[in-house]
Every structure is written in structure tokens, then in C-alpha cells.
Amino acid sequence: MSRMHFAGRYEESALSSHPVYESHSHGYTHASLVDHKSGSVHTGLSINQLIEQGTLAPHVHSYEEGFYILEGQALLAVRDQAYLIRPGDFGAFKVGTLHGWRNAGLSPVRWLQMAAPQPKPPGSERDTFFAKNGQIPMVAKPLDASDLKGDLLGHFDASQIPPVDQRPAALVGSKGVYLNWMIDEKFGARHHRMLFIEYQPGAGIPPHDHTFEEAYFLLSGEVEAVMDGERRIAKAGDVLWTGVGCVHSFRNISSQPARWLETFAPQPPVENVFRFTAEWEQRAKELEG
């Protein structure tokens, strides 16, 4: 039986060259957070970095890719467009979309990357292909949401979270939880979602499971996670993953907001996204007497 959940941590020392990109990049390193070794079959989550003057040549994937910039600046080439992107900028590349990267600052640029379907392990069939003589522009204008020419890009950071008393209810029965959908079906993605979520101190979500995998990369605060009955404490830099059918719950146990980036793969069904244990236990009592 495959593992139903996983807990790990991002360590800068884990950044290393990737065999698929070695001959098509300069100063590019990658640290896997969730992949087939974690028990996942749908999620490819990683931290990616380009050092000063680093480049990643234009390429396409046979999978969909999403990203969120954590630090630094990059020049991102998407098809025949170029954008200067910074922390809080995010985007998605649909299957077969040509894209390339160039570090545009004086310090490393680092981003969280999500791939779905899960990339094939090195040595398996190819799923990444590089453009012959592909070039990345040297200059670009900052990302402008009004001038994207169809590219799937946007910006969201913690400063845009509304005051507590002005927030819409995010989840029924989960007061103090705020979420912002960044990458989803409405955005134009077809294989995954990515969202920014915040739990106020003491806020939580009760035990539930899904028909899809979730991954969680902690940005701040401290969270108590219970996954299939196993209790874990997660803080900034930690990563958690729950597989299909894993019953899990979260609670912010710190005195500050707990924030993380969360991914779904595959995309959820149109109905019955959450299966809360308590709701079904109550329904069983009503039905069975």
C-alpha cells in the first residue's frame, strides 16, 4: 500500500543540479519537496533557484507547471513575451507552453514550483524539450496584469490580505481561515491549483479528506497537522503532503498568523470537494437511528 501522507523540510543544502537541465542552464539548482519518493503519484513540488546571472533555456513540458516567486527577481520569457517578476508574482504554464528564465538581480532568485501531472523521474521517458537556439531577452518591463497577452500570470502577497473583520467566509465552520485562489480553472490551469492561505491564531479546519492530493509549503507561523491520526508540528520551511483519502486536519498553534502555499492535483471535482468526517458521522446517525 502506498503512503498516504508525508512530512519533510526544505534545506538550502538540498539544492543541486538537475540532470534534465544540466546542459541547458547556468547556475540553476533544484530541491524536490514532493515527488514519487514521497508516495505521491500526481504532485511534483520543488524549490528552484537561479544564482546571479543564472539562466534556464527556453523549453516546454508535457505537464503543466505553476510557480510562486519567494525571493529575488527574474526575467521570465513566455512564448514571445518577456516579464520582470518579483516576490509574490505567480503564474502557470499550460502543457506545451514555451518558457525560460534569467536571474534579473544581484542575489539568487528562488521560487516554489508545482508540476502536474507529476514529472517522470530522471532516466524515464522524456517530458521536457528545449527549443533549438532558444534565447532569453536581456530586459523586460515589470509584470503588468493589464498587459499579459493571454499569459497566465498574476501577483498576490500577504500585504493584500484584507483586515480580519473584512474577510469573506473561506470555509464553512472554519472561522479565522482566509484563502486566495491564485492558480485554478478560472485562471486557465487544467491540471492543478495553487492558493495562498492564512490561519489566524487558534483557527483550524476539522478532519476531512479529498479525491485529490494536496501539498502545503509553510511560510510563517506554526501549525499542528494531524494526518491519518499522526500528529506533526510544521513551521516555516516545512512541507506536508496528503494523498487521496488521507484524513487530515490543521490548527494554528502559534501567536501569529500561519501562512502557507497550498497545491491541489488533479483539480478537484465540481461537487463534494471536502468530505468532513464529522458531517458524515452525523448523517449516519440520522439515517441509521
Q: pLDDT tens digits, residue range 116-171?
A: 999 998 889 999 999 999 999 999 999 998 889 899 999 999 999 999 888 877 77
Q: pLDDT (tens digit, 9 = 90+) per residue, 4-60?
A: 999 999 999 999 999 999 999 999 999 999 999 999 999 999 999 999 999 999 999
Residue (of 175, 168, 100, 167) closest to 137 by Cα position: 100
- What is this structure's pTM? 0.95
**Size of the chain in residues:** 289
Q: pLDDT (tens digit, 9 = 90+) per residue, 242-268?
A: 999 999 999 999 999 999 999 999 999
Which pLDDT does position 169 carry in this prediction? 73
Q: With bands split at pLDDT 50, 70 and 90, how would you rate the model's confidence at 3?
A: low
For the chain, list the domains and their CATH numbers. 5-155 (2.60.120.10), 158-288 (2.60.120.10)
Mean per-residue pLDDT over the chain, rounded: 95
Which pLDDT does position 186 carry in this prediction? 96
Q: With bands split at pLDDT 50, 70 and 90, how would you rate the model's confidence at 172?
A: low
How many other C-beta atoms are found inside a 10 Å radius of the C-beta of residue 166?
7
Q: Is the pLDDT of residue 1 over 60?
A: no
The bridge status of strand 213-220 relative to strand 238-242 is antiparallel
The mean per-residue pLDDT over the stretch 190-219 comes to 96
Q: Is the pLDDT of residue 222 over 70?
A: yes
For the CA atoms of 156, 159, 164, 166, what is the dihedral angle to 10 degrees? -70
